[in-house]
Amino acid sequence: MLEATTPCKHPKALEALSRSSSRCYLLPFPGKRIMTGNQGSLRDMDEDFRDSLRDYVTALVGSAGRHAWRDRHGALLTGTQLAARIEKFSALMKKHCFGFSSPAQMAITFHNQRALDRASAEHADFLREKDGDSRNMFTCLKVRPGKMAKLFAERRGQVLWRCRTDMREPAPETEAQLTELEAEWTREAE
């Protein structure tokens, strides 16, 4: 279907699927009894499906050692850590409807998202610090509201500039995210 479209909307995906190293495992239809029943037991499955499922699970379990997940520093991840990362990834995918055409585009998007997350954390730390400073009456009286607003705006600009420079290949959607983030920070600062 990708080859039939002119021009191809996802050339990198087509290239990846065309490689000889790409593999898929398609299971046969499980059978009418399992599809219409409500139990989902093994005896309701067609025999060829059961055999294919057994082969698939055996191959999957046999290759588990080759697919141990590591973080970017090379340390092995526990099941809990991996589950947390998958949940975070899932939440991110639900929040932003990304259309990835290649693994490289996916990596860039997630790198940019991490840059946005770091910027948000840095800004939140700054606000907590200033909020703590404002709890002391004498410290509050030393800073005029206009000066505080200017300080917040300068800091916001610094954090956004750093975030922009950390991003790889900023796209229109990342600029929209930065604009939205800046508006949110302005509301928080006020």
Span 161-165, average pLDDT: 85
Hey, what are 151's tokens? 């300080």
For residues 62 and 56, give the distance between their C-alpha atoms in angstroms, rounded to a whole number: 10
Give the Cα separation of 119 and 113 in Å (integer).
10
Give 39-96 pLDDT, tens digit per residue.
Answer: 767 788 888 888 888 888 888 777 777 767 777 777 888 888 888 888 887 877 776 6
DSSP-derived letter for residue 20 is T
Out of 16-20, 39-43, 61-65, 135-139, least confident range: 135-139
| Backbone φ and ψ of 99, nearest 5° | -120, 95
